[in-house]
Structure 1
């Protein structure tokens, strides 16, 4: 059932929006391109995913109820579950996540409104709502300002950190490392792998910034820690000195905007720190030498 280009693009965007990784989306699309009963080698040839990664990708798709395998076949064959049912399950799960995030944000806003009205002098709380056009703006404006104010530790978690790297973010990060701040970063494997595929004129400036940042991280390897995980299913956030947290949520009605909140309320900071600790324990260390100059030629 070969897809036309529009249907292919729509299916890819849909699966990404529903939480699939790039590899998972590509593997899932194979069943619409070349049919059912696919082996791991079939999927690897169709997608370009290394064969050693295909098994993990397919296991993840099975856990999401999108595909099933028949172990009686040799080699094992994978079959597509009914998309009308399986995709609706993912969609409903996504709706629940969005509703839970909205409910959480509304409760925090109401609590902070109460504090500011009834006991503003004693509340010891800073909060600010800001609308940004994109996740890029969060990394260009909000995160660098909070890094600049930090004095001990900066924690940053986000699925798309690498692709949102900008000059101000790099500048404040380098200054922070040089003044003794510890940085802990968790992003996705896909985001890190994108470092190795930058090409064209637009990539020259970003590569130069990244190389500069990586050189500093390697020089101060005891101050900068980067880990990767494909389990990041939370909004992008940063924790600063375990005293302040900034986090962003895409509008469920208009994905063009991101609502950003900064607060030093201890209960909220502690909640995000618990999320970070859980992700950190399940993530893997990244060897930054893999992305050194020799592997990232500016051309």
Structure 2
């Protein structure tokens, strides 16, 4: 990266042009006198002390007392990590403030579904879903689009992927221990693409665009557990259940404990394991909505287009546990943690 580009990016982080020049100069020279910094950077001698004092206040420079006084650059990794943490905190605080402003006028949450215009924006949202997921990502999309997500998928070895596509062969980057692959089958494949992250985010779109119409492409972005739990149900009953599993999860080599939020993902994993399996379930009692945590063993499971649940023996009692939105079972499971 050219020095001019570095200065431009540092200015975006809140430094002035002279402050950016001084910090870059110190990285080149190491601990230096103010006169040396002036000579190397071209910062006027009348300004250099103010610039260095400002950099010290902002955490970019340490002052080494003595005669002469020396100025030392703070490790860039330390500086940038602190800036990143502060930036993330500011963004989260702004999100809260913006929602409060919105509710003052409208008295409700922001809309749960947005329209995304432009193919590149859709790709960015799909990457964001993968990057921010904590437990699992469900993907149903043509291989042409799946390839665009290659780097994000390869980077996430700490979550479970369930991916349905029109595979001919399985590329190396999809052979990870944490990935379940299915080859799409029949008419359901033609209906739509889905990228779903946990119960937090979902992206939906139809046919991929031709190049000349990429800017007119539309997709739909949802951030609503109520909507996403339906998307997850459709993902399994419409798509996965009509597809062929060509690569199950390598459970033995997958990182433990394995944490999931979708009951059907859990059962898809269990189909290739010998029961019983130790599990911790975090959820709510269906009758009272009281929070509950169960530690026990899975003894059996049930999986149909309408029903998905597991039976867990915990505390000397058998519990019937479903997923989010359960009303037939004893417990509405919100997180499922396989322990062995």
Structure 2 length-normalised TM: 0.29
Which structure's CA Rg is the greater one?
2
Q: Which has the higher helix share?
A: 1
Q: Which has the higher strand share?
A: 2
Structure 1 length-normalised TM: 0.33
